[in-house]
């Protein structure tokens, strides 16, 4: 039986990495605030069993030249590594699970390729979960040096899931406090990743971070509530605090508004607006109540109603090409290449009748439809 417990979602200030070791110092700073947040979180009346840290909280936004392999190699991290070691000490000390993220992460199965990876550390200090970000925005990879598993699709599925796509792309940590999956930042803009985690058993979906203007316009809230409601799961969504600049000033690129949403899509804890310091939200969740609701033969248990054959047809035709960087890593032409890929995708969707262009629309650049391109595209 899983007793009710408190969840704490941190919104720490961020500090950009200037040197490789800065990430460890950032973790130590976050850990100090975590002590306070967990102490206050326990005032809920139940012990804190899960602490969640936003995407990019540990490294900030590394200044990078897209495709600069030397610079990417210099800043690349490992899991486990010194950052996770510091978090592991805190997990043991506080007797709690800690969920966090690192980007530009080296992978032993893919030399010279880096991924954005979420992870969970258990109360014994062991890393019990890792998941690579599978969907990113148009410019994230080129700016941060991260690939998606889809870019090395064939090998990723074989090596990470032993041929099983669900295990390779939507892994879920089955823990003593519930089944947990993480949809990283921009992945939460789309419905599929959260649904994939839920269909692989996730009861808690962690959705860390979203950048402006998506927070101020309400997209962040709508998405988090929808993921909880459509997947009948808790959503824990921490966002970043302000970035502290070298001159002592601050800039707010993310807008805060961390929240925790219950399985009915109702916000049960929310940070309203932006603060100038470290902050957090917390609440008590009840996994056993969720499990009773999920197996009830009623309206809110939607899993039993899924007519999967008719939904599968939506995605029968590919849109974004897979295996782009299977044979060679991306180079300095990364951003231009991604821009051209997405332009082709738009033309493909127009040809299929999915999109209707406005009056006077003209094609720009390389608009060869994806269906006419090869799956394995190398170089940049």
What residue segments make up the domains of the chain, in order of their start?
5-306, 315-372
The predicted pLDDT at position 64 comes to 65
CA distance linking residue 234 with residue 229, whole number of Å: 9
Q: Apex CA 230: angle with CA 228 and CA 235, to 5°? A: 10
pLDDT beneath 50, residues of the chain: 367, 369-380
The predicted pLDDT at position 226 comes to 98
The predicted pLDDT at position 377 comes to 37
pLDDT digits (tens, 9 = 90+) for 9-64: 999 998 888 888 899 999 999 999 999 999 999 998 999 999 999 999 999 877 66
Residue 47 has phi, psi (to 5 degrees) of -65, 150
Return the DSSP state at 54: -
Give the DSSP per-residue string, 200-256: TT-SEEE-----TTTTTTTHHHHHHHHHHHHHTSEEEE----PEEPTTS-EE-SS--
> 269: which strand partners?
260
CA distance linking residue 365 with residue 340, whole number of Å: 7
The predicted pLDDT at position 186 comes to 92
Tokens 């800043």, residue located:
75
Give me the helices (H) in the chain, please.
22-41, 69-75, 82-94, 140-144, 153-161, 165-169, 192-199, 219-231, 287-295, 308-312, 334-351
Return the DSSP state at 149: G
Alpha-carbon dihedral sign for residues 188, 190, 193, 197: positive
How many angstroms from the chain centroid is the CA of residue 68? 24
> 127: which strand partners?
121
Note whether 96 and 48 are within 8 A (CB): yes
CA distance linking residue 245 with residue 267, whole number of Å: 32
- CATH class given for the domain over 5-306: alpha beta
Tokens 């939506």, residue located:
314
């Amino acid at each position: 039986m899983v007793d009710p417990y408190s969840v704490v979602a941190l919104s720490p200030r961020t500090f950009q990495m200037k040197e490789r070791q800065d990430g460890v110092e950032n973790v130590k700073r976050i850990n100090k605030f975590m002590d306070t947040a967990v102490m206050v979180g326990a005032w809920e009346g139940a012990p804190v069993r899960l602490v969640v840290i936003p995407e990019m909280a540990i490294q900030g936004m590394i200044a990078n030249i897209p495709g600069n392999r030397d610079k990417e190699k210099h800043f690349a991290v490992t899991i486990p590594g010194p950052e996770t070691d510091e978090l592991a000490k805190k997990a043991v000390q506080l007797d709690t699970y800690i969920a966090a993220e690192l980007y530009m992460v080296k992978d032993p199965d893919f030399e010279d390729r880096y991924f954005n990876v979420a992870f969970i550390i258990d109360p014994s200090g062991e890393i019990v979960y890792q998941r690579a970000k599978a969907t990113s925005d148009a410019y994230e990879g080129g700016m941060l040096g991260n690939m998606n598993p889809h870019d090395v699709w064939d090998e990723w599925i074989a090596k990470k899931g032993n041929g099983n796509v669900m295990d390779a792309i939507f892994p879920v940590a089955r823990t003593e406090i519930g089944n947990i999956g993480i949809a990283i930042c921009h992945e939460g803009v789309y419905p599929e990743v959260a649904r994939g985690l839920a269909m692989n058993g996730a009861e808690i979906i962690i959705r860390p971070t979203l950048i402006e203007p998506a927070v101020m316009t309400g997209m962040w809230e709508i998405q988090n509530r929808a993921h909880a409601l459509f997947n009948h799961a808790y959503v824990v969504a921490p966002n970043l605090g302000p970035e502290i600049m070298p001159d002592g000033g601050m800039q707010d690129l993310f807008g805060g508004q961390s929240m925790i949403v219950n399985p009915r899509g109702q916000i049960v804890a929310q940070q309203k607006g932006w603060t100038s310091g470290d902050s957090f939200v917390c609440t008590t969740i009840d996994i056993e109540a969720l499990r009773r609701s999920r197996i009830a033969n009623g309206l809110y248990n939607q899993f039993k109603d899924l007519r999967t054959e008719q939904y599968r047809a939506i995605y029968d035709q590919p849109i974004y090409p897979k295996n782009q960087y299977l044979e060679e890593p991306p180079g300095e032409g990364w951003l231009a290449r991604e821009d051209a890929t997405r332009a082709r995708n738009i033309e493909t969707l127009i040809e299929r009748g999915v999109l209707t262009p406005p009056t006077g629309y003209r094609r720009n650049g390389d608009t060869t439809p994806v269906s006419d391109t090869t799956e394995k595209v190398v170089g940049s």
